[in-house]
Every structure is written in C-alpha cells, then in structure tokens.
C-alpha cells in the first residue's frame, strides 16, 4: 500500500504492519475495522471504499462505529464484554450506512482485539469484520426472515435491498401486486427497518369501509359532526403519531377522499370531520393496491396527482407463479408457524415441492398458507405428502374417474381389504402412489377405504 493512502488516529500504527493485514482482508473481500474502547473507528481497511464510496476508509476514522453500522451488537455498549464472554459474535445481520444516504446489508463479526497485534504496532479494543450479505445467501436469508420476508428470488431480494436503502427516508411508498402476494408484510418490513420502528404501525383497509366511515376512520370526528357522532373520536392519522399509516387497497378510495388525502400529503395537516382546526400529520404514509392505477386514472377513478404523490418510491411484488424459487423457503417458514399452533413438528416430503412449483397459485402466498393449513389438518403424521393437499393442487388437470362397474368375475383369492392394506403399507400409506399401484384414482381409493372402514 502506498504511504499516502495510509492514515491513522493512532501514531503506533505503521504502514508496513497494517499493509500486511490489509492485503489479507482484501483477498477475502472483507472489511476490517479496528475500534477503541469507546467504539470509535481507529482504522478501516480499504475494502470499505468499494462498499461505501472511494473515500470512505479515511472518512470513517474517528467516527463512532454506530455512525457507519446499524446493528443490535452496538445498541448496549455497557454489555459488550458480557456479550463476548463465549467468544466472537459471528454472522450478525447489520446495515452499512453509505455516504450517499443509501445503505446495504452486511454480515458482521465482532470480537475482542486479539493478542499479538500490538507487537506489530496495532492497538485497539475490538475488531469488526464485514462482508456483503449479497455474496452469502444464508446471511441474506437470515436478513429476510428478520424482516418477516422469506425468499430466494432475485425480485424479492431486490425489494429487501431497497428497504435497507431507504431506512432513513420518510418518502411515501406505493406497493403494488396481486391480492395475496404479501403487500402488508412488505409495508411492515419498511416500518420495522425505519427510524419510526418504535412508533405505531396503523393499518387501514380502504376497501373494507363505506366512504363516510372511512373518512371518520382516517381523520377522526368531533361530537355532533353527523348522526351517531356522540363523542369526539381520534382518527388513524392522529393515532399513528410519529409512526406509519398503511393505506391498504388505496385504489378503492372514493374520489372525494382522494382529494383530502392529497392535501395531507402536500401540507402535512388534516382536520377531523366537523372541525375546522388543522392538526399536524406527523406520521409516514405507505400505500398498497392490487388495482391497475394507470388504468384507473384513464377511467377517471383515481387522481393522477395523488398517484404521483404516493408513488415516490414504487415497489412491485410479482405473483408467486413468477417466482417458483420462493416456494420452498416459504413452505418451510409457514409450516413452522402453522404446525406450532397445533403443537406439532411437520415437514413436506421432498417430491411434493416439484408439484407445488408447478401449480400457478392464483391466490399467491395467502393460498399457499391456506393449502398448508389444510394439509396439516388432514395429515396425522409428521410428513405431508401430495395427497394431503387440496384437490386443485394435487390433481389440477384430472377429473374424478367413475367407479368401476361391478364385475361378475369371482373375487380374487386375496380379499379386497387385505389387498388395499398391503398396497398402502408398501407405499407407506401415501394414497397417490397406492392408487396408481391399484390402477384406480386417488378419490376411488379414498372411497373404498371409507367403505371398508380403513382409517389412515
């Protein structure tokens, strides 16, 4: 390393000793930070320049580490030594704050300053090692689940990076996508990863209430404002305080309320119904819709000026059928929650995932969750097979075959019950392969089992 690029707050650092360590961490694509006992950055390796900006290495020196990195590790400095009693903290999710106001996910390892480096003229109290989360799918999966999102697809990973980038912003976000794709989950992730995360997250479904009630729900009302208004009522904008208001199904909001919402966004004030006094709107607004707002604007059902006010940061969530790589992690994540309600541990047979990825999922993630609840309710074991799932999933292109006509031939030597039991045992009580082995449909097998009193 050239001497002009070396700079340190500690005169005991030397270009030669630091250069050796710098070379090692550069070859691994890792950032090394040396912190003093007050968690001030004493030295930063130059890989930081690649992650943040060309001069980040020099600018970081002398800053509190919390100005550069957002991590729960540094939330309670008084307990750092207690945290490190059993060794380094490895693989922690953290957010690296870039100089341009954006941010990125990183994996963080935090440890005490090791013995031996002092002999090289390097002194500190703690070491921090950073690596980009995008290069490690396991780390990124951890980050996603911590937001309430689970995915493998590039489209959803892009959304999670965007959420990280706007964590300090108060910009209005418009989330679009089909019903059931998880728009509210994304909205909650935005709130939970923002500076407002300790404030309320208030949800309003604009399609669930008639216009008059929706207006009162959003803005509140004063006593006597309308028939039935027997006392003052606080609306959602006021109840949210400095938190976040999530307006779901914004495409169904009536035009006269769209005008009032536009004023809230422009002037950051609102009035309760029946009152002339303006109140400050201190919260952030997020909105979502499954309606094609561009088409709604052409039809005169949605205001174009409100559309552009809401769409400062647009996020589109593609349907589940366009991201089959998300099926498996979603299934595993949802099954933990569903099975836990019944005090069970359940998993899906490996071969079932192939069929789940083929199904188009018109109801998206919501339909997937319902299908898993159905399968868990019907299954009595610890493994879910295809025959445990709803009919539209297990046999999407098949019709129930008619019952075979009664045969006049003498019964085979093996009784029907014994034969069914034998085939079921051979196929581990999985109805789909058992039906194929018997040459009948799965529904026919199920009916025969009922007739013969065979309980699976």
Instruction: Render pLDDT for 244-297 as a digit per residue (tens, 0 to 9).
Output: 999 999 999 999 999 999 999 999 999 999 888 999 999 999 999 999 999 999
Q: Which CATH superfamily is domain 3-135 in?
A: PAS domain (3.30.450.20)
Q: Are 189 and 148 in contact (CB under 8 A)?
A: yes
How many helices (H) and strands (E) would you count in the chain? 20, 17
Interval 310-340: pLDDT, tens: 999 999 999 999 999 999 989 988 888 888 8
CA atoms within 13 A of residue 240's CA, in its CB half-sphere:
28
First to last CA, the chain: 71
pLDDT attached to residue 401: 43
Using DSSP bridges, classify how beta strands 103-112 and 126-132 pair: parallel, antiparallel or unpaired. antiparallel
CA dist 133 and 110 (Å) reads 16
**Quick one: pLDDT at residue 19?**
62
What tokens were used for 203?
Answer: 């949800």
Residues 177 and 318 sit within 8 Å (Cβ to Cβ) = yes
Percent of the residues in the chain that have a pLDDT greater than 70, as a whole number:
80
Please give the pLDDT value at position 145: 54
**Distance of alpha carbon 369 from alpha carbon 375, whole angstroms:** 10
Non-local CB neighbours of 428 within 8 Å, separated by 6+ positions: none
The pLDDT assigned to 398 comes to: 53
C-alpha to C-alpha distance for 155 and 171, rounded to whole angstroms: 21
Residues of the chain with CATH 3.30.450.20: 3-135
CATH 3.40.50.300 fits 166-318, yes or no: yes
The rounded distance, in Å, linking the Cα atoms of 96 and 99 is 10
Domain 321-394: give its CATH architecture. Answer: Orthogonal Bundle (1.10)
DSSP of 198-266: TS-EEEEETTSS-HHHHHHHHHEE-TTSSTT--S-EE-HHHHTTTSEEEEETGGGS-HHHHHHHHHHHH
Q: State residue 397's pLDDT score.
A: 58
Nearest to 156 by CA among 294, 330, 285, 289: 330
Q: How far apart are CA 192 and CA 52, in angstroms?
A: 23
CATH 3.40.50.300 in the chain: give the residue spans. 166-318
Distance CA 394, CA 450 (A): 20
Mean pLDDT by 10 residues, the chain (456 residues): 41 52 69 87 82 77 85 76 75 72 74 68 78 55 58 84 84 96 93 90 92 90 82 92 96 95 95 91 96 95 96 96 92 87 86 92 93 90 90 68 40 57 73 76 73 66
Partners of 132 in the β-ladder: 106
In the chain, CATH 1.10.8.60 sits at 321-394
Dump the DSSP string for 16-68: HHHHHHHHHHHHHT-EEEEE-TT-BEEEE-THHHHHS-TTHHHHHTTSBHHHH
Q: In this structure, what token pair is assigned to residue 394?
A: 């297990």
Would you state the pLDDT for residue 23? 65
Pairwise CA distance, residues 245 & 69, whole Å: 27
pLDDT score of 116:
60
Do the beta carbons of residue 303 and residue 309 sit within 8 Å?
no
Longest CA–CA separation in the chain, Å = 101
* Angle at 195 (CA atoms; ends 194, 196), nearest 5 degrees: 85
Q: CA-to-CA distance for 396 and 154, rounded, in angstroms?
A: 28
- The whole-angstrom separation of Cα 221 and Cα 214 is 11
Q: What pairing do the DSSP bridges indicate for beta strands 233-234 and 383-384?
A: unpaired
Tell how far CA 300 is from the center of its chain: 34
Tell me what pLDDT residue 380 has.
82
């Amino acid at each position: 390393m050239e001497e002009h690029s070396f700079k340190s707050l500690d005169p005991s650092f030397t270009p030669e000793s630091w250069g050796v360590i710098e070379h090692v961490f550069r070859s691994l694509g890792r950032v090394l930070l040396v912190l003093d006992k007050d968690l001030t950055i004493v030295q930063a390796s130059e890989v930081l320049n690649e992650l943040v900006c060309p001069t980040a290495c020099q600018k970081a020196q002398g800053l509190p580490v919390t100005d550069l990195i957002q991590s729960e590790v540094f939330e309670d400095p008084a307990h750092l030594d207690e945290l490190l009693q059993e060794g380094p903290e490895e693989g922690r999710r953290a957010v690296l704050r870039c100089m341009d106001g954006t941010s990125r996910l990183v994996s963080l390892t935090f440890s005490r300053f090791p013995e031996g480096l002092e002999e090289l003229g390097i002194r500190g109290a703690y070491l921090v090692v950073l690596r980009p989360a995008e290069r490690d799918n396991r780390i990124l999966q951890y980050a996603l689940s911590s937001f309430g999102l689970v995915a493998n697809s590039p489209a959803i990973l892009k959304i999670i990076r965007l959420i990280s980038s706007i964590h300090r912003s108060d910009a209005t976000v418009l989330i679009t996508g089909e019903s059931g794709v998880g728009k509210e989950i994304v909205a909650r992730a935005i709130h939970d990863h923002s500076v407002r995360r300790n404030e309320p997250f208030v949800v309003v479904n604009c399609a669930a209430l008639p216009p008059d009630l929706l207006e009162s729900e959003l803005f509140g009302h004063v006593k006597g404002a309308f028939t039935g208004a027997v006392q003052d009522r606080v609306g959602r904008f006021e109840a949210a305080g400095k938190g976040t208001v999530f307006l779901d199904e914004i495409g169904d909001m009536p035009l006269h309320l769209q005008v009032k919402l536009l004023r809230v966004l422009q002037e950051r004030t609102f009035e309760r119904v029946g009152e002339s006094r303006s109140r400050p709107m201190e919260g952030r607004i997020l909105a979502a819709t499954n309606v094609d707002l561009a088409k709604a604007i052409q039809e005169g059902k949605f205001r174009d000026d409100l559309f552009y006010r809401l769409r400062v940061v647009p996020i589109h969530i593609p349907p589940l059928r366009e991201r089959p790589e998300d099926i498996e992690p979603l299934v595993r994540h949802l099954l933990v929650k569903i099975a836990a309600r019944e005090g069970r541990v359940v998993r899906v047979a490996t071969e079932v995932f192939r069929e789940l990825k083929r199904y188009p999922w018109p109801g998206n993630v919501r339909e997937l969750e319902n299908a898993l609840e159905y399968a868990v309710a019907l299954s009595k074991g610890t493994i879910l097979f295809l025959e445990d799932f709803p009919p539209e999933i297990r046999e999407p292109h098949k019709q129930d075959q008619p019952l075979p006509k009664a045969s006049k031939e003498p019964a085979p030597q093996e009784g029907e019950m014994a034969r069914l039991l034998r085939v079921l045992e051979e196929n581990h009580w999985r109805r789909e392969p058992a039906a194929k082995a018997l040459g009948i449909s799965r529904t026919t097998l199920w009916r025969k089992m009922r007739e013969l009193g065979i309980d699976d």
